Structure 1
Amino acid sequence: MKNHHWALTALLWAVPTLGAAAEYNTDLNPSPEVAPGFYGKMSSPVTSKFKLSIGGYVKLDYAYNSVNLGPNGVITPISGAIPSRAISGTGPNSATFAGQNQSVFSLKQSRIWFKADGPTLAGAKTGALIEVDFYGDNSAAAESPMPRLRHAYGTVDWPNTQVLFGQYWDMFAPMIASTEDFRTAAPQGAPYGPRVPQIRVTRTVNLDANNLLKFVVALQDPAQTGDNSPAVTGEYGPNVNYAGQIFYINKSLGTAPGYMSLSMNPFSVGLFGLVSKEKAPSNNNHTLDTWGYGLYTFIPIHGSHNGVDRTGTIAFEGQSYAAANLAYSGATSLSVVGTTPPGGTPGTVSNTYDPAGHQSAARNWAFIAQLKYFPTQDLGITGGYGTRYTFDNKDFVGIPNFQRQSQQAWGNVTYDFNAAIRLATEYQNIQTKYGNVNGVAGRNATGVDNTIRLCAYYFF
């Protein structure tokens, strides 16, 4: 009996221990979810119908801006409009904001993603990814941001062909400037930032072991002037955007760090383009054209010897383009020009250049380039310059305070302490040159911002 008593006692002690390891939300004291330590056992198995992985990063931003860029001033404006002391009124590009500076913290650029690897389909791998950040409501207090959908897509991958459907990077202009400001110089020549619903097909053709061609075609959401909003009735609104890219890729030159220094990229050069049309109710239901085309290149000037070690690597990346009616991505400063506002008089300098009040697509051209150098595996240095010009200033006759040019020069330094923690600092000089200032034809002015940025990342 004595032996049985000790066996029963040991079993009763073992049951809670086994239970704590296998289940949660129990009545044990202390509860296994919250003790010991900070929130207790925060690592536990994650299961799904398919293999599921989780990742993302925490990002703390601090920015000092020499002008006031508004409540979202931790990143620069997508419009490219920097406040000018010469512009009257109280708008975001006016002297009111140019006379103020700004010091702001934010965690809204933190992200989390979930990736699933699913079953095969006709010999192809399938998968999906969904990602959010916390810019859902820029007007909310810093401690109450809202999730915002960034990426959400499914993929079907054969050895040389991929079909992607969902929300992914906009197809126009593939360069992403490596600024710590996550605007990535979109209004100064790198308008890649928007994620839009689309379906795209990517096909690679291997010429030999080191050389290949890549073709990408896509249908994507037409986010031009907002004429596809629910409030618009009738047969109006943009058509689907038709977009394409073609690249020549050479692996024999080695690889060098790409965007955020998280990938190692080979030599690439290619063309990209986008085309569409739309009916605009504000343009007497006439059709407006949407288009863009350009050239992109990535060159590992000094490549990695093994495709992993970044030490000593030097990379050049650049692109140039011309575009019309692509303000939603920052590729153009406006969507359309020639609009007569309500109550305006067609043909007057303060309203429109077109006596009939018709619109036409706003046109811009741009170029951007950057150099990235890694003296050591963990230390990265990036510098770049980009600018966006009006295609023809005559297009903007009658439009007050139009942007003749938006330009940015930047430099940043990043250091990876380990696989999780990265610190970065950045300097930006951003200028906007305006025309028809305060409605006076031929009068020009400039808005200038100098930003000093500090960032801390924790990748997980």
Structure 2
Amino acid sequence: MKIFWGLSAVALLLASPAMADEPVKSKFDLSIGGYVKLDYAYNSVKLNSPKLIPQMPAGGTASAQKDESTFTARESRLWFRAKGPDAFGAKTGSLVEVDFYGGGSSVNNETGTLRIRHAYGTLDWDTTHILFGQTWDIFGPAAANTVDFSVNGFTGTPNCPRVAQLRVTQDLAKNQDNKLSLMLGLQNPQQEYSTLTPNSYGPAVNAAGRLIYESKALGVAPGIGGKALQPLQVTLFGEAGTQKVTGNKAINVYGYGIYGFVPLLKSANGKNRAMTLSLETQAYIAAGLGDQQATGASTTGTLPNMSAARGFGVYGQLIFYPLQDMGVTAGYGRRQSMDYDSLGKTASAAGERYNQLIYANLAYDLNAAVRVATEYEFASTRYNVKPTGANSELGKANIYRLALYYYF
């Protein structure tokens, strides 16, 4: 009996920090947030993934003749934001955000491991802003408001992956309602992850930038997720770099495009979402940005005459909130090759002509924490030739999703 009570006392002592009603503390102003998300998806073809993959299996292949249902909670995420002391007259801060899409099997949820999404520090003066660390690629600002975790990234919104970078944003003109800013940065070139021969790409960095105009002239309307309301924005963006390829001359990679966000029906008071409507759109041309998913391939041709594969992307979506707690989104995205005649023409390496996605979803907030969402997606891929085992050059899939969120 004495041993029992002794062990109980030890257990209570060990548990007391978790039981105590104490706030999280740091030497700086620290906040914590994130969400728990359960995803269910029915795929009319076998994707072997709870989210969309870069290309749909061509008709007639084994994967195209199977369907599947998946559950996962691996998109659940956690973030920590800190506000530190001023430095050289600048406000300082940092953010670290992780999810569970690290290593492990794509279908075994217990093997999901932590993955860095964002990890950066900031210094903010009145008109100058510095960011260093890892966050969204400067190329391609748009992120589709999909329930699908891929956020249309393979068909017109190549905002992934998040990359290590150093960037400076300078406000060129600013008043109460309008702002013009220039962002310039150096960032990690995703070409280092190319599947060509080992060490085929050199360690050169890519330069990227954005020219951003924002205005409150049209009011504000919900953006991605519906949590934040955004003003009118027009952005010109671009990226450029030179990569070395073994046995080939250096290959120039680049991309440029335009992005727009327009509040078509503005919030009545700048806070409520009821009867708001927003349009988000983007178009770009790119060469050699296959690892960012801006193009369907990184290179075209054969050694020693390889060059950057070129392509373009277009995207647009509408977000409508008929009620404060109900949002409806419909959108379209397409990634098209400009060099498909020179891409792979063998069945084992069929080149991509285009990849596109049509989607529509509905989300309802039960309260400030709990959200229920459902979505339909039609994804299709047109290949250059029939891939191995296929009876068609076209691959397509119908996807139905249901998701439950708990924000904290």
User: Scaled by the length of structure 1, what TM-score is found?
Assistant: 0.82
Q: Among 63, 66, 83, which residue is 1:100 paired with?
A: 66
Task: Give the counterpart letter for 2:43 in structure 1.
Answer: N
CA contact (8 A) 1:433 1:444 kept: no
CA contact (8 A) 1:421 1:457 kept: yes
1:316 aligns with 2:286: no
Moved over 6 A (4+): 227-230
Change beyond 3 A, Cα 1:426–1:98:
same
Structure 1 residue runs of 5 or longer lacking an equivalent are 1-25, 87-94, 340-355
Q: What's the secondary structure of 1:135's corresponding residue? A: coil
Task: Give the counterpart letter for 2:163 in structure 1.
Answer: V
Q: Among 361, 365, 381, which residue is 2:308 paired with?
A: 361
Q: Among 375, 384, 389, which residue is 1:435 paired with?
A: 384
Change beyond 3 A, Cα 1:231–1:84:
closer
Q: Among 411, 417, 420, which residue is 2:360 paired with?
A: 411
Partner of 2:189: 222
Structure 2 residue runs of 5 or longer lacking an equivalent are 1-6
CA contact (8 A) 1:154 1:166 kept: yes
Change beyond 3 A, Cα 1:250–1:439:
same
Task: Give the counterpart letter for 1:127 in structure 2.
Answer: G
1:374-418 CA distance string (max 9 Å, x none): 011110000001111111333326454211010100000001111
Q: Among 258, 265, 270, which residue is 2:235 paired with?
A: 270
Task: Give the counterpart letter for 1:75 in structure 2.
Answer: K
CA contact (8 A) 2:285 2:310 kept: yes
Q: What's the secondary structure of 1:249's corresponding residue? A: strand
Partner of 2:57: 83
CA contact (8 A) 1:435 1:444 kept: no
1:204-245 CA distance string (max 9 Å, x none): 233432121021111000111536999639xx5142110010
- What number of residue pairs does the alignment pair up? 399
Work out the CA distance in 2 between the residues paired with 1:133 and 1:113: 9
| 1:33-432 paired onto structure 2 within 5 Å | 41=19, 43-70=21-48, 73-77=49-53, 79=54, 81-86=55-60, 95-139=61-105, 141-226=108-193, 232=199, 237-281=202-246, 284-339=247-302, 357-396=304-343, 398=345, 400-432=349-381
1:31 aligns with 2:12: yes
Task: Give the counterpart letter for 1:449 in structure 2.
Answer: A
Work out the CA distance in 2 between the residues paired with 1:427 and 1:228: 32
1:74-132 CA distance string (max 9 Å, x none): 1111x2x101124xxxxxxxx01111111000010000011111110111110111111
Change beyond 3 A, Cα 1:55–1:68:
same
CA contact (8 A) 1:52 1:117 kept: yes
CA contact (8 A) 1:385 1:410 kept: yes
- Deviation of the 1:197 alpha carbon: 0.2
Work out the CA distance in 2 between the residues paired with 1:359 and 1:231: 16
CA contact (8 A) 2:345 2:351 kept: no
Task: Give the counterpart letter for 2:236 in structure 1.
Answer: L
1:31-68 CA distance string (max 9 Å, x none): 27659xxx972753222221211111101000000001
Q: What's the secondary structure of 1:143's corresponding residue? A: helix
Aligned-residue Cα RMSD (Å) equals 2.5
CA contact (8 A) 1:238 1:277 kept: no
CA contact (8 A) 1:228 1:237 kept: no
Task: Give the counterpart letter for 1:31 in structure 2.
Answer: L
User: Scaled by the length of structure 2, what TM-score is found?
Assistant: 0.92
Larger strand proportion of the pair: 2
- Deviation of the 1:201 alpha carbon: 0.9
1:128-184 CA distance string (max 9 Å, x none): 111110011241731231101110000001122210000000111100010111111
Q: What's the secondary structure of 2:268's corresponding residue? A: coil
- Deviation of the 1:250 alpha carbon: 1.1
- Deviation of the 1:422 alpha carbon: 0.6
In terms of Rg, which structure is larger?
A: 1
Work out the CA distance in 2 between the residues paired with 1:412 and 1:187: 18
Q: What's the secondary structure of 1:259's corresponding residue? A: coil
Task: Give the counterpart letter for 1:47 in structure 2.
Answer: K
Instruction: Point out which structure has higher relative CO (alpha carbons under 8 A, 6+ apart).
Output: 2
